[in-house]
Amino acid sequence: MDNLIAVIPAAGAGKRLGLGINKAFAKINSVPLLVHCLTMLSRTKMVKRAIVVLAPDEVEEGNALLASYQAKHFADLPFVVVAGGKERQDSVANALAAITESEGYVAVHDGARPFAGKEVFERTLLAAKGHGAAIAAVPVKDTIKVVNGDGEVTATPNRSTLYAVQTPQIFEVNLLKRAYQFLAEHPAQVTDDASVVELLGHKVVVALGRYENIKITTPEDLLFAENLLAQQEKDNG
């Protein structure tokens, strides 16, 4: 097994899902979304342990919930639950504080992406081993327009240069820790963990993700996830 630790941010309120609960606890085919995510990580046979980040008032409940599913769904994946912060970047920083290793790799993976799969993790880790930092992403299918505040199109980027970024995002442990320390000393708005590493001037490379690796955000995503899970179960016999 690779020396790979997974950090799973799952502290979001999930308002767009409209369920009134953290979407990590939303059930797909009677199993919580977060459990599906950890099950996927377990099946990769690559992850040494998982650090799950939940809102402070959900840590106790989340820990008990995951423990109740572990034996059946991800028995070989140790996990801990830590409290998140105000922003996603604060939550990841809290998780990094729980990592004592000075060598190896960290995979930051959204708790709402249960369909990444082993091949995406393998490709992303391989790229990270070569460059120190790698992210899963897929080429965009649509034409993208840059629009100003008045609704006017100001530019049409070359689609061949555009990728939709996913997770996992995998980094050398020390690189990601240094990047978050830099962010703490030089606050900035960042949208993902690769952006934090980029602040150091470190190059980040892309590994091919998969279009099925969606982030479950809306009720329509839940329907898609249910259908995809049903197809996977059918394929697995």
- Residue in 169, 47, 172, 51 with CA at minimum distance from that of residue 105: 172
pLDDT band at 127 (very low <50, low <70, confident <90, very high): very high
Using CA of residue 192, residue 197, residue 202, residue 208, what is the dihedral sign? negative
As a whole number, the mean pLDDT across the chain is 93
Does residue 220 fall inside a structural domain?
yes
| CA max distance for the chain | 54
Does residue 236 fall inside a structural domain?
no
Structurally, how many domains does the chain consist of?
1
User: How much is the average pLDDT of 33-45?
Assistant: 96
Does residue 237 fall inside a structural domain?
no
Does residue 70 fall inside a structural domain?
yes
Structural domain of 70: 4-231
pLDDT band at 162 (very low <50, low <70, confident <90, very high): very high
Does residue 195 fall inside a structural domain?
yes
Does residue 127 fall inside a structural domain?
yes
Strand ranges, E, within the chain: 4-9, 27-28, 31-32, 47-54, 79-83, 105-108, 133-139, 146-147, 153-155, 163-172, 205-208
- For residue range 220-230, what is the model confidence (pLDDT) as tens digits? 888 889 888 88
Looking at residue 119, which CATH number applies to its domain?
3.90.550.10
